[in-house]
Structure 1
Amino acid sequence: MIRSAFILGSTSEVAKAICRELACRGCGHLHLVARNEEANQAFARELEASYGVAVSTEYTDLLADSSLSPVRRPQVGDFDLYLITAGALGNAELARSDTAEAMRIHAANVGGLLPWLTAIATSERLSRPGRLWVFSSVAADRGRPSNYHYGAAKAALTALCEGLLLRCYGKPFAVRIIKAGFMATPMTVGKAPPALCASPESVAQNLLRRPNRRGIEYLPWWWSPLMRLIRVLPAPIASKL
């Protein structure tokens, strides 16, 4: 049973759905970390009122976290679950010519997460039972001309967390990398066919159906065979994606 959870990126729709599902299943303490303080506080009040759980909040800005000197050393406490859903598509077209936007996309999806992942993945914590769930993306599987900066950042995040997954082989701490496809959230409005979009609620239920699972998984499951096909497409066809 997951009795406490730390959520980085807690104002995302999928994080909210997972938090609600956790609360329904008896999780008693949720620590919400996000950049939008107003939205984070409002969600904390909702969870407290609707589910009677203890909720604490924290502000962070991943863009700042990735550029601070010296690098920030965040405090992550002790929780049964560490959930990372933070990320942003950014402006893919602008990033092709604007280095600052390209760097922002990288910071939002991998660079800004490094201090947090480092703080979580201590030798002491990995020797104890626990869980780390990190949301990556199917965009990590193959570069696409439409959003290659985002895909590259997610690919770096996936490789980093896969190394952490292998580091935890034989240990009680379980690392879970979720390669999510399109979800029905404001981030994907107008950017994905509705038929390919899973609801955040269905993703949350799927994850918590097997809370102790570890490894790399695609959600929904059918993205796995679809991405196998996309990875072997000839360049002339892949260039149209």
Structure 2
Amino acid sequence: MHVLILGGTTEGRRLAELLADEAGVRVTSSLAGRVAAPRLPPGEVRVGGFGGAEGLAAWLAEHHVDALIDATHPFAGTMSFNAAKAAALAHVPLLALRRPGWVAAEGDDWHPVGSLEEAARALPALGRRVFLTTGRMGLASFAGPELADLWFLVRSVDAPEPPCPARMEVLLDRGPFTLDGERELLRRHRVDVVVTKDSGGVATAPKLAAAREAGVPVVVVRRPAGPEGIACAATPEEAAAWVRTLRG
């Protein structure tokens, strides 16, 4: 049985590990190639795009894929829609592996927004020293002259490219992060507002607890809507069980 995992996430790597131990299962993980040195999962790995939904459907047919699992980042909306269309074209079962989103706790000062642009518009009323944890993509939303007086600490795995905020310090780092580390980061950089996407999961959640403790507001970008009518799993273990049901 050939399983293609659209990965690049912690959940995708964990699922590849689980399926690598399954007898009679061949696993291929596909990575987008946006990170210079990704953590490679076990099994076969391909890097790069497919050429849209039609290209993915052709790849599924050519490589005799029996099951497709979309374990991409919750904000990789285009890929999720391409996966749904490709699975339908190739008549391949599809499962979406999605970590649950974060839920505000007592004491949180969250400001939900629908986009990075909306997050940028909200900042001047909330703080002057911004911890921006949305990754290196999309920094142009925070590069406008109306935010020139704000200072940004940008954390990402790889160095960002212009356009970027006018006043910016870059911190190259990769989760998981610790609560003590996030507390110290907020203190050392005198952060008074945090911006994050609702990525969910535990690897980057400590920043939310640190902000809560410090009384720092958090601008949370809501997840984009995904394709409807797709089978879903919340954990790699659930996804592995779905594969086993297909095997019978």
TM-score computed with the length of structure 2 as normaliser? 0.40
TM-score computed with the length of structure 1 as normaliser? 0.41
Which structure has more relative contact order (CA 8 Å, sep 6+)? It is: 2
